[in-house]
Structures are given as C-alpha cells and as structure tokens.
Structure 1
C-alpha cells in the first residue's frame, strides 16, 4: 500500500505545486492576456460543452490516433528492414538523415498541395513527424540484438519470420517503445499545428479562433485541455508499456536489487 501511495505522491506532487503557484500568482491579475486561473477554470465547462467535445476534441483525437498508428506501423516495419540489412542501411542512411532534419511543420504547405485541406492532410502531417523517432529507434534496437542470442536462434533453425517474431522484435522492443513515446508528444504538437492551417474544427482551430476573437479565457481553456490530453495519453502509454514490456522492467528491477 505504501509503494503505490508514494508513486501517486511523486506523480501528482509537482503538478499540484505548479497549479497552486499559478493560482496564487494570477489571483489578482488584471491583464487581459493573463487572466486568473480561477477565471479559466470557471470558463472551462461553459466552453467545452458536449457539442464542442464531439465537434472539436473527438476529431482531433481521431486524427492523432490515425497518424500515430500509421507512423508506428511504418516506422517499425522500415526500421526492422533497415536495421537488419547492412546494405539497405548503407543506402538509406544518408536519405533518412536528410529527411529527418526537415521540420515537419515546414512540410504542411507542401502536403496541402497533394492531400488537400481535409483530414487526410492532417493525418499525413502527424504521421510524417511521428515516423522518425519510431524508425530510428527501431533501427538502433534491431542493430543492438545480442549476437549470442542471434547465433543461438540460428543454431536452432529459427529463421525468417519466426526469428523476427521471437528474437529480433522482443529484443528491440524497449528501443521501439522509447521511439513511440517520443512520437506521441510530437504527434500532439503536429495535431495542433495541422489544425491551424485551413481547418474547420479541432483543438488547434478552436484555440486560434478564440485568440482571433479575443476570447482569452477560452483560449487558455484550450491550452489547458491540451495539457490534460497529453497527460492522459502519457499515462495510458505507460500502462501499455508496463504490460507489454513487463519482462524487461522485471529484469531491470531485479538487476537493481542485486
């Protein structure tokens, strides 16, 4: 009982302190652009009604999920191929480094030319930015497979798809999940940016509309909602990671005790 309680204190301690500092620092604010946190909290339920959740929040989450899933599948597949084939890696590495250095927001106008201004554009933008941490971490994870383990699998005749499923991917999975974690935060950022370009709904679109109409408390509620969304997604990701990589965390905890 004491362990979970301490973890809860560590998780919630700093956010509670920061909210308390924000509340106290902004309590007497008369600045139009820096309203008191109390005003923002009171405005929140008036702004984010059921209709707005369905019309703005849900579409944003669905775009994020689609783009993130596309990036995860493509990143793991391409990363496994590049990481396991030396010649493929030698050919692709310069191109991958070049493309990785291009900031995804810069590609939004280009993607709009080919994908239009609908949901497809936004999903492609999210996938384009999220794929790189997944791909590069997968490459490094596949390259770091224990040679003894790989040779043992070869000796027992475990080759092809069986080797990939039982040796390569499990060994590379900690690195893959590290890339997926990085991609999640990038995906949220790109979700907002893509919705600021020629959009008619979504969190990014709504926040910009509040800013343009000088509904400053409403704009701050959107920013607050984005932070809460990122926190919830991070917690869900950690739960999935702990379940999938239970064996890895168990080995790491055991090594710390010894």
Structure 2
C-alpha cells in the first residue's frame, strides 16, 4: 500500500504545486486576459456541458484518432521497408529530410486546396505531422536489429512474414513506441491548428470563437480541456505501451536486478 501511495504522491505532487502557484499568482488579478483561476474553474461546468462535449470534443478526438492511426500505419510500413533495405534508404533519405523540415501547419492552405475544408483536410494535416517521428524511429529500430539474432533466425530458416513479425518488428517495437509517443503530442497540436481553419466545430474552433468574442474565462476553460485531454490520452498510451512491451520492460527490470 505504501509504494502505491508514494507513487501517487509523485504523480500528483507537481500538478498540485503548479495549480496552487497559479491560484496564488492570479488570485488578485484584474487583467481581463489573465482572470483568476477561481473564475476559470467556476466558469468551467457552465461552458463544458454534455452537449458541448458531444459537439466539440468528440469530433476533435475522432479526427485525432483517424489522423494518428493513418500516420502510425504509414510510418511503420514505410519505416520497415526503408530500414530493411540499404538502397531504398539511400534513395529515400534526402527526400525524407526535405519533407520532414517542412512544418505541417504551413501545408494547411495547400492541403485545403486538394482535400477541401471538411474532416478529410484535418485528418490529413494531423497525419502529415504525426508520420515523421513514427517513420524515423521505425527506420532506426529496424536498422538496429541485433545481427546475432538475425543470423540465428536465418540459421533456423525463419524468413518472410514470420521473420518480420517475430524478429524485426519485435526488436524495433521499443523505438516504434517512442515515435508513437512523440506523434501523440504532435497530433494534439495539429488537431487544434487544423480546426482553426474553416471549421464549424472542434476544440480549436471553439477556443478561437471564445477569443474572438472576448469570452476570456471561457477560452481558458478550453485550454484546460486540451490539457486534460492530453493527460488522459498519455495515460491510455502508457497502459497500452506497458501491455504491448511487457517483455521489454521485464527484460530491463531483470537486467537492473542482475549483479
């Protein structure tokens, strides 16, 4: 019981301190753009009702999920091919470095020309930014497959899909998940940015509408919702990662215990 309480204290300690500092720093504020935290928290339940959650938060999460899943599938597939073949990597690397250097928000007007202003545009924007950490981490993970394990698999006649599944992807999975974790935060940012362009709902659209209407406390509540959404998604990701990479974390724990 004590380790659980200690871990909970570490998890909640810093957020509690930051909230207390925010409360104290803003308590006497009369600045319209910097309202007291108590005012923001009082406004929160009036703004984020069940209807608003359905009309704004759920569409944003659906777009994020679609763009993130598209980027994950494309990044792992392309990264596996590029990482497995040296010649393919030599041909693709200059193009990949060029495309990676282009900030995804800059592409929003271009994507709007081809994908319109609907959900497809927003999903493409999210996917275009999320794909790079997944792709590059997959390439490095595939390249770093243990040559001894690769030779052992060849000696036992493990080839084709079996080799890909049990050796290549399994060995690269820790780095793939590192890329997926980075992509999640990028996806949330691009979700908000994409909804600021020609949107009719979503978190980004709602926050901009509050700002344009000078409903500043309402705008701050939207920012809090974004932070809470990021926290929940990060926690869910950690649960999935722990389950999928249980063998990896167990191996690391065993290595730490060994003399």
Would the TM-score normalized by the shorter structure come out above 0.5?
yes
Aligned to 1:208: 208
Q: Which runs of 5+ in 1 are unaligned?
A: none
Q: How many residues align?
A: 258
Residue 185 (1) aligns with residue 185 (2): yes
Q: Name the structure 1 match of 2:135.
A: 135
Query: Corresponding residue for 1:228?
Result: 228
Please state if 1:71 is matched with 2:74.
no
Residue 257 of structure 1 and its aligned partner are, at CA, apart by 2.0
Matches within 5 A, 1:29-68: 29-68=29-68
Distance 1:41 1:131 in 2: 36
Is 1:93 the counterpart of 2:105? The answer is no
2:134 aligned with 1:105: no
Alignment of 1:24 with 2:24, yes or no, is yes
Pair 1:8-2:8 in alignment:
yes
Normalised to the residue count of structure 1, the TM-score between the two structures is 0.99
| Separation (CA, whole Å) in 1 of partners of 2:157 and 2:164 | 13
- State how far apart, in whole Å, the 2-side matches of 1:128 and 1:154 are: 36
Separation of aligned partners in 2, 1:190 and 1:3: 38
Alignment RMSD: 0.6
Q: What is the CA–CA distance in structure 1 between the aligned matches of 2:4 and 2:251, rounded to whole Å?
A: 20
| Aligned-partner Cα distance in 2 for 1:2–1:61 | 36
SS at match of 2:231: helix
CA shift, 1:24, in A, is 1.0
Q: Residue 247 of structure 2: SS of its match in structure 1?
A: helix
| Counterpart secondary structure, 1:33 | coil
How far apart, CA to CA, are the structure 2 residues paired with 1:93 and 1:123? 25
How do 1:105-184 and structure 2 match up within 5 A?
105-184=105-184
SS in 1 for 2:102: coil
SS of residue paired to 2:30: coil
- Rounded Cα–Cα distance in structure 2 between residues aligned with 1:133 and 1:18: 30
Distance in 2 of aligned mates of 1:4 and 1:105: 42
Q: CA deviation at 1:2?
A: 2.2
Q: Matches of 2:153 and 2:89 in 1, distance apart?
A: 23
Distance in 2, matches of 1:156 and 1:7, equals: 45
Q: Distance in 2 between matches of 1:181 and 1:2?
A: 30
Structure 2 unaligned regions, length at least 5: none
Please give the per-residue CA displacement for 1:61-93, whole angstroms capped at 9, x wherever unaligned: 000000000000000000000000111001000
Supply the distance in 2 between the matched residues of 1:143 and 1:3 (Cα, whole angstroms).
Answer: 39
* Counterpart-to-counterpart distance in 1, 2:139 and 2:153: 20
